[in-house]
């Protein structure tokens, strides 16, 4: 059940990165696969306790990457999951991401209780 929740949320994340790459006007092309970023974030979020979520929950996460390629969570729109998400993702490295350093990104995490 946890795997299906994580998989669904990361599919949404992959969709966001795909849409975001088309919607932004960047001079440098994005290298690396969005699936790679999704997989890395999924691995960092494995084991996140979401038992108390009723139905479906969408959490928007604002973050930047520092010069070392580490995720720095700026904010989330959910007070209950904010600390858990920050503990799981802050200062975790992304490899082969193709994202710009010190640029704010937003991605949705969707949790579904099945």
* pLDDT interval class at 22 (50, 70, 90): very low
For 63, phi and psi rounded to 5 degrees?
Answer: -150, 165
Is 106 strand, coil or helix?
strand
Look at residue 35 in the predicted model and tell me its pLDDT: 66
- As a whole-number percent, the residues of the chain with pLDDT over 70 amount to 68
pLDDT reading at 86 higher than 70: yes
Tell whether the model's pLDDT for residue 66 goes beyond 90: yes
- The answer to whether 13 touches 38, Cβ cutoff 8 Å, is yes
């Amino acid at each position: 059940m946890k795997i299906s929740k994580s998989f669904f949320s990361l599919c949404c994340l992959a969709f966001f990165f795909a849409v975001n790459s088309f919607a932004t006007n960047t001079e440098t092309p994005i290298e690396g696969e969005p699936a790679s970023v999704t997989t890395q974030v999924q691995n960092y979020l494995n084991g996140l306790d979401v038992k108390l979520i009723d139905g479906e929950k969408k959490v928007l996460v604002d973050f930047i990457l520092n010069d070392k390629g580490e995720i720095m969570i700026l904010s989330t729109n959910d007070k209950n999951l904010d600390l858990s998400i920050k503990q799981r993702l802050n200062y975790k490295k992304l490899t082969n991401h193709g994202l710009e350093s010190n640029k704010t990104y937003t991605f949705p995490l969707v949790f579904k209780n099945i």
